[in-house]
Structure 1
Amino acid sequence: MTAVQGGSSPCLSPVRRAPDSLLIIGAGSAGHRHLLNAKALGVADLRVFRTGAGASRARLPEAVSVETDLAHALSRGAKAAVIANPTSLHVESALQAARAGCHLLIEKPLSHALDGIPDLLLEIRRRRLVAQVGYQFRFHPGLQHVRHWLQNDAIGVIVSAHARWGEYLPDWQPWRDYKSSYAARAELGGGVLLTLSHPIDYLRWLLGEIVRVSAVTARRSGLELDVEDAAIVQLEFESGAAGVVSLDYVQRPAEHHLTIVGRKGVIRWDNSDGVARLDAFDASQRNSDAAAPPRAFDRNRLFTSELSHFFSCIAGKTELQGEGCSIEDGEQALRICLAAKRAAEEGRRISV
């Protein structure tokens, strides 16, 4: 087996292409992470809009302006905005920011419903804004290597794919009541299908369009939630390949992995160590390969890579296509999740 491993990951340092000013809309755990990363990447003028309704326990860095009125915050002329408030508020907030001329990084999922997305897309296109959805697993070096193998036909025609992600919801933010989090509340756009929708996005990114879905959802966690806490989604790809995504808020220890089967081999990726593994067969010969992340790689690197890419797109140095998730891609991931919910309710396959 040939192991492919990057060198030591460099320390986070300012980037020349960082915008002068950035507004973070929402100061929960995701917003706070983006705030610290933007500061480390060299954004000089950082502002946060917060209502105080969330349960963030983190103090904001010094010299960060705090706003409690979104219209006033946007009137100060931020170059870009990160939308990191609850899912149900994403589109409304993004539309306000777009009308103020802000480039947009919108946390995943794009929304909990399709309402307002056509207006948002129209505003983005009319103003020629950079707009990206925060499906940061596209920036995982292991999954990027999986994509490279697939693009080079390493395992031939794809037959099937299976993504599995289970993680115990109360462990996500142990300092707070899990029932108050957006992930646990229907009115905030929660539920396991939307909250853990990364595999839906990265399977499209890796394998192409998904055209039909069927699904089963359940509330079996005993966590007293008003949203689905387990889901099994069957995917039919335009290519003819079949896929399964299995999600839950229950499993301990957490597990997140991917298997892709082709006519000439199999690709596996496991989030626990980040390693992508390839076993390919040519006639009677087996060829194996593995790709590990850099030694200093950690989860935050996904977010810093995503934010750096967003800044680079704003500066005109990088195209959004490829790694970044566009608004259109985010909308399609949402359509698939909503189709899965409907398929589970109606007990039938749904075309996307």
Structure 2
Amino acid sequence: MPERDEIDRLSVTPRVVVRGVGSIGQRHARVLTRLGADVALWPVRPRPAPLPDPPTSGSAVQTLNDSSGPAALASADLVVIATDTGRHVADAIEALDAGAVRVLVEKPVAPTRLLADALATHPRASDVWVAAPLRAHEAFRHLASVVRDIGAPVSAHVRCQSWLPDWRPDRDYRESYSARLDEGGVLRDLVHELDYAEVLLGRPTLLGAHLEHAGPLDIEAEQAATLLWCTDTATVTCRLDYVTRPAARGITVRGPDGVLDWDVTTATVTHLDTTGRPTTTTFPADLDRDAVMATQARAALELTPDAKPAQRHTAGAPATLAEGLATLELCDRAKELS
């Protein structure tokens, strides 16, 4: 795993506001500060004590409040929206209207596609990124570059399976957003899998979906989902769940000239040729979550969402708003079918 000071700092000092200071907001702040950005944290609710500065090489992180926050938005090169899902659209619009150059919204954009319409139709919608850190994995970018080596993919299986109580052992999982009926559930929570599968295999047409609310977890949201869709070249199955141990995450793609398997948990891509002989490549940097998020953050600052897809994908950039909304539509359709 790379040392933390191996992350190259930006050549300029962008001004960044991180709206929301939960675990993901503080991670964004830490990563952006290490990249050399001037970062300010703006909590949604007043904090009883000062927030700790992310560990970095001497850079302090400013804490804003509702009086100083709006002015900071106006001068920001990037605003990261890391609030509750139900606030994403309103917080993103506030940043755009204030004059922020670009906005990076955490996934999903909104609880449903309909609730994202105000952002989708905003005059500055083209300045919005949607977080998609799996695109920033070196292993995924390698997979995307060699997927045609197995011929036109004819089938694939996407998987993201884990045990929700293990996510944050120091917190009751039933109190997390993942458990909430209106904001959580595996479809919204694990939407990254739907996003990267579309990048790799093309736009999906959903054929079937089965959502499971019953199970070992005491939550209102769905605990598992199994989806079936097709693209122009492949038929895809997808399993998302909160109820599996040990965790499994990745994709297996099969074609007439071999098989490719990306195992996210081990940061490996394995290529089986037509005889079954394996060649495995490991990408150890992908095991450092901060390093992956730094790749995404750098691309979000250095590129624009209207850059060419090949350039965005090579750089490990986030999803565009249109792409983020497309995966949200797929989630909505899965709920309808189920």
Q: Say whether the fold is shared (TM-score over 0.5).
A: yes
Q: Is 1:342 paired with 2:336? A: yes
Provide the rounded CA distance (Å) in 2 between the counterparts of 1:315 and 1:330.
12
Structure 1: runs of 5 or more not aligned: 1-5, 345-352
> Which of 132, 143, 146 is 1:149 aligned to?
146
1:253 to 2:246 alignment: yes
The answer for the alignment partner of 2:208 in structure 1 is 214
Q: 2:294 — aligned with what?
A: 304
2:95 aligned residue = 97
Please list, as runs of the form range in 1=range in 2, the aligned pairs for 1:132-281 lying within 5 A after superposition: 132-150=129-147, 153-187=148-182, 189-239=183-233, 241-281=234-274
The secondary structure found in structure 1 opposite 2:11 is coil
CA 1:202 to 1:295, structure 2 compared with 1: closer, same or farther past 3 Å? closer
**1:204 partner letter:** E
Q: Which residue of 1 aligns with 2:283?
A: 293
Q: Does structure 1 conserve the Cα–Cα contact (< 8 Å) formed by 2:128 and 2:305?
A: no
Residue type of the alignment partner of 1:268: D
Q: 1:339 to 1:199 in 2, by over 3 A?
A: same
Distance of 1:68 and 1:249 partners within structure 2: 35
1:131 correspondence with 2:128: yes
- Shift, 1:10, TM fit: 6.8
Residue 188 of structure 2 aligns to a residue whose secondary structure is helix
**Cα distance, 1:232 vs structure 2:** 0.5
Alignment: residue pair count: 326
Verify: 1:83 aligned to 2:81, yes or no: yes
Distance 2:306 2:204 in 1: 31
CA distance in 1, matches of 2:263, 2:281: 11
Q: 1:100 deviation in Å?
A: 1.2
> Does the Cα contact within 8 Å between 2:40 and 2:63 map onto a contact in 1?
no
Q: Which amino acid aligns with 2:175?
A: S
- Kindly indicate whether the alpha-carbon contact (under 8 Å) linking 1:50 and 1:66 is maintained by their aligned counterparts in 2: no
Is the contact made by 1:312 and 1:318 (CA closer than 8 Å) also made in structure 2? no
Amino acid at match of 2:110: S
- 1:49 Cα offset (Å): 2.8
1-structure distance, mates of 2:293, 2:5 = 15
Distance 1:26 1:295 in 2: 27
Q: Which amino acid aligns with 1:136?
A: P
Shift of 1:13: 3.7
> Per the alignment, in what secondary structure is the counterpart of residue 154 of structure 2?
strand
Distance in 1 (alpha carbons) for counterparts of 2:17 and 2:154 = 44
Mark the CA change 1:175 to 1:287 in structure 2 (over 3 Å): closer, same or farther. Answer: closer
The residue aligned with 2:109 is 110
Q: 1:143 to 1:176 in 2, by over 3 A?
A: same
Q: Quick one: distance in 1 between partners of 2:5 and 2:258?
A: 34
Which whole-Å CA distance do the structure 2 matches of 1:209 and 1:296 have between them? Answer: 26
The question of 1:321 aligning with 2:312 is answered yes
Pair 1:300–1:272, CA change in 2 (3 A)? same
Q: Which amino acid aligns with 1:109?
A: P
1:133 shift after superposition: 0.9
Aligned residue for 1:306, secondary structure, equals: helix
TM score, norm. by length of structure 2: 0.87
- Once the two structures are superposed, residues 287-336 of structure 1 have per-residue CA deviations (whole angstroms, 9 ceiling, x without a partner) of 65332114684222221111111111269999773243111110001111
Higher RCO (CA < 8 A, seq sep 6+): 1
Paired with 1:173 and 1:192, the residues of 2 have a C-alpha distance of 16
What is the distance in 2 between the residues matched to 1:316 and 1:200?
21
Pair 97,197 (structure 1): closer, same or farther in 2 beyond 3 Å = same
* Residue identity (%): 28
Where is the helix percentage greater, Structure 1 or Structure 2?
2
Name the CA distance, whole Å, in 2 between partners of 1:299 and 1:41: 14
Aligned to 2:326: 332
| Cα offset, 1:262, TM superposition | 0.6
1:14 paired residue among 6, 9, 13 = 9
Structure-2 separation of matches of 1:215 and 1:115: 20
Q: Answer yes or no: is the 8 Å Cα contact 1:9–1:294 preserved in 2.
A: no
Structure 2 unaligned runs (5+)?
A: none
